[in-house]
Structure 1
Amino acid sequence: MIVCGDDVLAHRLAGELHDVYGERITLLVPTPREPERQAPGRQGLAQALFGRVTAAVIRGTVGEQRGATPGRSIRVVETAEVDDTVLLEAGVEQAAALALVHDDDETNIRAALAARRLNPRLRLVIRLYNRKLGQHLETLLDQAAAVAEPCLDPKLLDATTTVLSDADTAAPALAATAVAGTSKVVQAGGLLLHAVERPPSTDGQAADPGLCTLALLSATTNDPAGCEGSEHSGDEGPRLLPDDRAVAAAPGRGTVALEAISYAGPTLSANRFGASALPVASLFSRRLRWSLAGVAAAVGGIALATWLTTGDHPLHAAYLTLLDIFAIGEPAVGEATSRQVLQILAGFVGLLLLPVLIAALLEALGTFRTATSLRRPPRTLSGHVVLLGLGKVGTRVLARLRRLDIPVVCVESDPEARGIALARRLRVPTVIGDVTEEGVLEAARVHRAHALLALTSIDITNLEAALYARSVKPDLRVALRLYDDDFATAVHRTLRTAHPDALTRSRSVSHLAAPAFAGAMMGRQILGAIPVERRVLLFAAVEVADNPLLADRTVAEAFRPGAWRVIALATGSAPLGRPGAGLLWQLDPSRMLAPGDRVVVAATRRGLAELLGRRPRQPVPDAAGGA
């Protein structure tokens, strides 16, 4: 398998394919054009990732790789660009799969078109941020494979080309941290699910397993001095996909159960964010609406009094009242005293109505003028989520939070950032400024916020913002996007020790996305991945046909504790994970799996490798390396 990329995701993906699936990997990395400006630790990172799984790492130009020593399972090739010559030298004609995970969409598209021309049967996994372009590219490359190889089985075309986005893959987990305090989330069949952590039962009764029990937590989960999933005081770590007997035999350990996601915090306010269905709510302020309501009530009261005192028809009484209010009626000279008094009162109401109408006109004009500008956070805002950074990942997280009607305040230093346009279109309050400067987080009302998501591309900026926010509000829920694993672990331990009552999470986008990319390279559709302490569970769509571990077995018989578990059955004809693909949850354990069924399985990385018919060459702990 060939992995082509220029960042940490490429290294993680290569390590994932080697550690879990036992594949031979060729990693194509760009040659640094200016060695003196090369980011420190590029080759050191490669050695750290691959030193534990291979005896040596072969480096050099493509031409030097021809004489590579047989038996080396990973080789790193530096090349200026990915063209036909480089792909042929890397063995694309004999490769099973190619992953293009460059950060630049155009580079990935060019390489994908060249690879499809050189090997129509090649399985392509492409990293693209543009989702619409990705859908069209999938169709184009699949059609190219069908034309070049007419005898290719049409069932295999679904796995021929897969377009993924690391931002889309990681966004549900990051958004769920703000919603439910966990990043264990997956979206399948139009339903957003998350794995909720449940503390040990104190009354001796078994907790509700929800849709299913995914894991038994380790004893160090709530220990500030411990690390998630690490061995501490003899703790064996989490147990993934336990059976009922294992759950019953561990009453003192918390569990992870899969259930539908919900948000119990404050929802989006209509008068603050313009989400009301009434146009008047988005055009006029609350104070002006109360003024208009008071004038209308006064007009109605005068009209009612006129009808009762004069005995006229109600419509005629209302007509006379309006004429008096607008000062176009005849004076009530010689009429009854009650009529004269009501006419004078109507004149005063008309005087009050004039400034209200002018204020309404000015407010409506101001609303139209500021419709395309960024909104400022309201002074009375509370219970919201402060989102730092509107890059690729921040934009996706913002869109997901808005779909859940969660109030958000964004902070971005670049007024031309990718997500500014989305924030303006969704009318999300946004603060333009550097989070390290004084007063920026105060403007975002962080002292009244529900959670802080620090998703900028700079680790130190995220850490500084988290520390300052914690000094303002010690119990604030914080999730940081950090790249370096050791740094993330140290930050997580320190913040959890300093603030044991507050929720702190450190997440790596590449760590969350790598299992999905690796699973797609193996030819199965990965619906999502959730971390369980320091390990990872994958949710994959699997065809029952031609799989002896699933076909002609009941749901209970197909369950392999610690490896995989069937959790849903597809009821629609559309591909899983797309519209029209319904899922049936809470299956009967005695239900027989027919060869034509499609199922969703929750599996460990090693379990999925075995389910797909591949086993690692050497036993490697199923632990996630990222924070």
Structure 2
Amino acid sequence: MVVAGDDALAHRLAAELRGVYGEQVTLVVPPAHRSVRPPVVGRTRATALFDRVSAAVNRAAGNGDPASARTSEPPGTERVLEAAELTEAVLAEASVERAAALALVYDDDETNIRAALTARRLNPRIRLVLRLYNRRLGHHIEALLDQASALAAAGADGSGDGDDGGEGFDASTTVLSDADTAAPALAATAVAGTSKVVQTDGLMLRAVERPPPAPGEVADPGLCTLALLSTTASDPAGADGSESSGTQGPRLLPDEEAVAAATGRGTVVLENVSYSGPSSPPGRSVVPFGSLMSRRLRWSFAGLVACVVGLAVASMLVTGDHPLRATYLTLLDLFGINDPAIGRPMGEQVLQLFSGLIGLLLLPVLLAAVLEALGTFRSGSALRRPPRGLSGHVVLLGVGKIGTRVLARLRELHIPVVCVEADPEARGLALARRLRVPVVLGDVTQEGVLEAAKIHRAHALLALTSADTTNLEAALYARTVRPDLRVVLRLYDDDFATAVYRTLRAAHPGALTRSRSVSHLAAPAFAGAMMGRQILGAIPVERRVLLFAAVEVGGHAQLEGRTVGEAFRAGAWRVLALDTDPRPASSPRAPRSSSGLVWDLPSTYVLRAEDRVVLAATRRGLAELLGRRARERAGV
């Protein structure tokens, strides 16, 4: 894997690939010094800044020779290449021709696009992951690079060796942005209290550690049992990052017999998490009829209608006319378009005078109603204020680039949100106006702004402004208002975010606090894209990792034509769900879920080539299933 970038995301992504997926990584970064110098290949070193898993392995290989490190690096190691510019020579030095994937995460879109075009020419089979802020341009670039790869593969008539990718390596192009990748994790933190979730087809899945059940107690298996935990907390099994099934260490993807026989051991089960607080309906742009007029105006109209009815009844009694005719004549008198009642009985003359008087009173009421209705329609496209009885909502501080994505994600889950924004021209205000989301305009550092957002009755606070001090100040003030409030902070520097998290956790042990940098939240999505589009996410289990992937059954002999029970391989992979969307609704299968995924598949269901399944797998198991393990055994 090759990672090229100029900020914290590149380092975090390299650590994610090494520690979680156990990949060999070449990191291309600008030189430490500002002076321009030729590319220098550093020694293979352990930069386990964020991940302890690969520290021992990297330290063991840290003093290796650079030349030998290029060809015989152990899994989870890193090679550093310093270059002022990402030229073709630098990409060649980084061995892009032999790489499985390349991530271009520079802060400049043009740099990433230029390097992607060069890399696609050097290696048409390489998997590309680009960081672009322009989403529309990103879609076009993605299609262009995929088309170039397809044409190059067609021109070669399918020839190529393992270094070019071969079976199991898709030469896909994935365009991501910080906002799109960080938003799901931030929204999941507000819902589930943790960003360690896997999201697929509208569902959020979380791996939960459960203690050993008490004697006579039956443990809830959740959707399925993913792992058996170590027998003791101090058990060093699995510290080397291997995934072999030890008798005392964690055991991934055990079968039912192993789960039944494991007494006194905790388990890791998969759960479908959802928001437990009050929900709100999707935002509507239609103005309700009841809001067109105020209560005082409605009472005025009711009084005038009562007067008209009384005059109509009096006219019917005096003249002896039919009720409809009496009402019609009363309305004519009311609007001043009837003939004067000269020479008519005194009662009719008096009624006509009263009708004219009430008509005079009706004119200002009608004018007020028209003006108020126009104002209501005008304010219908304006920002809403938080309702008086609102509670259990999420206070979203900052609706910029990332805050807008988080707002859209929360509203998809029907979670009530109140936005706080200091800039009246912020990009997210248009979305908040369209979704009818309450907004408080004001500086959160000023007194009374968070109170206006009902922070004392909120479920969580998401501080997502671009200023770290503003986010921290808002979190600390919210803690004084409500000490048990769930708080999530967006901080730029990952080390600073870790320090803030530890301090807030120590100061408020009874409250849930999460502080994350954008690079920390975005790195897993970029790493998953580098592993292939089928990777949905990863969940750590002690010192090991479980991957979740969406796989087409066709072409995999271990799955196609086998039942779900036969396709399960303990310690390697397990089919979790079946995607039912491609099939007609009348298909005689298990009942559909609202997300299109069928869980609790019968073990006798036969997997067909056209099926698409979601499975959990170990790193080695997924590599073997996708055909990569065969190349590793062959020494490629």
Alignment TM-score > 0.5, same fold: yes
2:115 partner amino acid: A
2:184 to 164, 169, 172: 172
1:205 Cα deviation (Å)? 6.0
1:469 corresponds to which residue?
478
Indicate the SS of the match to 1:556.
helix
In structure 2, the partner of 1:454 is 463
Question: Residue type matched to 2:49 in 1?
Answer: A
**DSSP-derived class of the 1:435 partner:** coil
**Secondary structure at 2:58's aligned position in 1?**
coil
1:168, 1:393 within 8 Å by CA — same for their partners in 2? yes
In structure 2, C-alpha distance between the alignment counterparts of 1:532 and 1:358, rounded to whole Å:
69
* 1:131-156 residue CA offsets vs partner (Å, 9 max, x unmatched): 44333322221111122221349998
Report the equivalent of 1:17.
17
Question: Could you tell me how far apart the structure 1 residues matched to 2:231 and 2:308 are?
Answer: 69
Deviates more, 1:209-218 or 1:440-449: 209-218
- Name the counterpart of 2:614: 600
Residue 525 (structure 1) aligns with: 534
- Of 195-204 and 351-360, deviating more is 195-204
CA–CA distance in structure 2, aligned partners of residues 252 and 345 of structure 1: 89
Counterpart in the other structure of 2:131: 127
Q: Distance in 2 between matches of 1:97 and 1:126?
A: 11
Which of 203, 210, 213 lines up with 1:192 in the alignment?
203
Residue 54 of structure 1 aligns to a residue whose secondary structure is helix
How many Å apart are 1:469 and its aligned residue? 0.7
- Residues 462 and 326 (structure 1 numbering): CA distance in 2 closer, same or farther, change over 3 Å? same
Q: Go from structure 1 to structure 2 and tell me whether the alpha carbon gap of 1:405 and 1:345 turns closer, same or farther (over 3 Å shift).
A: farther
Residues 91-240 of structure 1 mapped to structure 2, 5 A cutoff: 91-150=95-154, 151-152=157-158, 159-183=171-195, 185-189=197-201, 191-195=202-206, 206=218, 209=221, 211-214=223-226
Shift of the alpha carbon at 1:3?
A: 0.7
Please state whether the residue corresponding to 1:479 is helix, strand or coil. strand
Shift of 1:551: 4.1
| Displacement of 1:477 | 2.6
TM-score by length of 1: 0.75
Q: Which moved more, 1:517-526 or 1:247-256?
A: 247-256
User: Which stretch shows the higher mean deviation, 49-58 or 89-98?
Assistant: 49-58
**C-alpha distance in 2 between matches for 1:514 and 1:117:** 26
For 1:583-622, what aligned pairs fall within 5 Å after superposition?
A: 583-603=597-617, 608-609=622-623, 611-612=625-626
Corresponding residue SS for 1:195? strand
Q: Does 1:54 pair with 2:63?
A: no
Q: Residues 318 and 143 from structure 1, CA distance in 2 versus in 1: closer, same or farther, beyond 3 angstroms?
A: farther
Matched residue SS, 1:567 = strand
Q: 1:551 to 1:387 in 2, by over 3 A?
A: same
Structure with greater Cα Rg:
2
Taking the aligned partners of 1:394 and 1:267, their CA distance within structure 2 comes to: 19
**Correspondence for 1:6:** 6
CA distance in 2, matches of 1:220, 1:490: 29
Q: Is the 8 A contact 1:29 1:76 kept in 2?
A: yes
- Matched letter for residue 48 of structure 1: L
2:565 aligns with: 556
CA RMSD of aligned residues (A): 4.7
SS in 1 for 2:203: strand
Cα distance, 1:108 vs. partner?
2.1
1:101 is displaced (CA, Å) by 2.0
Distance change >3 Å, CA 220–CA 47, structure 1 → 2: closer
Which amino acid is the alignment partner of residue 393 of structure 2? H
Displacement of 1:98 after TM fit?
0.8
Per-residue Cα deviation, 1:400-453 (whole angstroms, up to 9, x for no partner): 122333332222344554434433444433344443343332333322323211
1:333 CA displacement: 7.1
Aligned residue identity for 1:115: A
* Structure 2 unaligned residues grouped into runs of 5+: 36-44, 160-165, 234-247, 584-594, 630-636
Aligned partner of 2:174: which letter?
T
Displacement of 1:533: 9.2
Deviation digits for residues 298-356 of structure 1, max 9, x if unmatched?
37744874686466455434433433443444566787888778766655654554344
Residue 259, structure 1, aligned to residue 268, structure 2: no
Contact 1:218 1:254 in 2 (8 A): no
Q: Which residue of 2 aligns with 1:566?
A: 575
Post-superposition shift, 1:582?
Answer: 4.9
Partner Cα distance (1:426, 1:318) in 2: 45
Which residue matches 1:323? 332
Matches within 5 A, 1:574-585: 582-585=596-599
Match status 1:443 vs 2:470:
no
Separation in 1, partners of 2:541, 2:88: 41
Distance 1:93 1:445, change over 3 A: same
Aligned residues: percent identity? Answer: 64
CA distance in 2, matches of 1:409, 1:305: 52
- Describe the shift of the 1:276–1:145 C-alpha distance in structure 2 as closer, same or farther (beyond 3 A): closer
Unaligned runs of 5+ in 1: 36-43, 222-235, 575-580, 616-627
CA distance in 2, matches of 1:343, 1:104: 79
Could you say if the C-alpha distance between residues 193 and 464 of structure 1 is closer, same or farther in structure 2, counting changes exceeding 3 Å?
Answer: same
State the number of aligned residues: 580
3-state secondary structure, aligned to 1:386: strand
Give the superposition deviation at 1:217.
Answer: 8.8
Q: Structure 1 residues 469 and 260, CA, compared in 2 at 3 Å: closer, same or farther?
A: closer
Task: Give runs of aligned pairs for residues 193-592 of structure 1, distance below 5 A.
Answer: 193-195=204-206, 206=218, 209=221, 211-214=223-226, 243-244=255-256, 256-259=269-272, 261=274, 264-268=277-281, 275=284, 277-278=286-287, 280=289, 284=292, 286-287=294-295, 290-291=298-299, 294=302, 298=306, 301-302=309-310, 305=313, 309=317, 312-313=321-322, 315-330=324-339, 350-367=359-376, 374-378=383-387, 381-482=390-491, 488=497, 491-492=500-501, 495-496=504-505, 498-499=507-508, 501-529=510-538, 538-547=547-556, 549-560=558-569, 564-572=573-581, 582-592=596-606
- 8 Å CA contact retained: 1:125, 1:161: yes
- 2-structure distance, mates of 1:520, 1:258: 24
> What's the TM-score, normalizing by structure 2?
0.74
1:226 is matched with which residue?
A: none
Within 2, Cα distance between the matches of 1:19 and 1:553?
A: 33
**Aligned residue type for 1:316:** R
SS in 1 for 2:568: coil
Q: Is contact 1:58–1:68 with CA below 8 Å preserved after alignment?
A: no
After TM superposition, give the deviation of residue 122 of structure 1 in Å. 1.4
Alpha-carbon shift at residue 506 of structure 1 (Å):
3.8
Residue by residue over 1:339-397, the C-alpha shift from the partner in whole angstroms, topping out at 9 and shown as x without a partner, is 77876665565455434433333334445655665555455544432111223321111
Q: Secondary structure at the match of 2:444?
A: coil
Relative distance call for 1:101 and 1:357 in structure 2 (3 A) is farther
* TM-superposed deviation, 1:170: 3.3
